[in-house]
Amino acid sequence: MPARPFLVRSSNGVVRALGTHFSVRLGGGVLAPRTQVAVSEGAVEIQPNEAPGALRKVDAGRQGSFDDDAVSALTPLAPHAAGWVQGVLSAERMPLGEVLAQVARYRYGVLRCDPACAAMPVDGIFQLNDPDNILLLLQRSLPIRLARRTRYWISVEAA
């Protein structure tokens, strides 16, 4: 029996594995979704839904994103990009809003970030198995406060 290609389909298109280790994550908003791809070994091919001629190969050590129409410029893979596989979030000058978006993926409920503090840079290595502890660490090290509406609803606000 011939080997079948391993395909990952997103709302934006298809990623085809070419003997690889890679991650695919849907990002962007509801009205403008983007699929993010990071390749740590081997390569993948990206095929956006609405652009049959825009097939793009992504080699190891590169990352990019795509929507229905096009693939972004490729950039070097961020260090520790695959840390989530080991349950670790590595942040180096990462905006607080982005850190909280990552933490929210590992926590039940609603986690909001006040736009007034969303751009604050965060540096650190965090264990994703305890997202509430990450929030406490951030509160201790940044000028923010956690406004708990309920156990499952936390808003991060400027202090």
Instruction: Give residue 13's identity as a one-letter amino acid code.
Output: G
Residues in CB range of 70: below 8 A, 6 or more apart: 48, 51, 54
State pLDDT tens for residues 28-45.
777 888 999 999 899 999
Residues of the chain with CATH 3.55.50.30: 83-158
d(CA 49, CA 70): 9
State pLDDT tens for residues 98-153.
999 999 989 999 999 999 999 999 999 999 999 999 999 999 999 999 999 998 99
Note the pLDDT of residue 126: 94
Q: Are strands 153-158 and 110-113 parallel, antiparallel or unpaired?
A: parallel
Instruction: Give residue 50's identity as a one-letter amino acid code.
Output: E
**pLDDT surpasses 60 at 1:** no
* 143: its two tokens: 């000028």
CATH classification for the domain delimited by 83-158, as one of 3.30.2320.80, 3.55.50.30, 3.20.20.70, 3.40.50.300: 3.55.50.30
Note the pLDDT of residue 81: 73
d(CA 58, CA 2): 24
**pLDDT surpasses 80 at 4:** no
State pLDDT tens for residues 48-104.
999 878 889 999 999 999 999 999 999 998 777 777 778 889 898 999 999 999 999
Note the pLDDT of residue 103: 95
Let me know: does 73 contact 60? Beta carbons within 8 Å: no
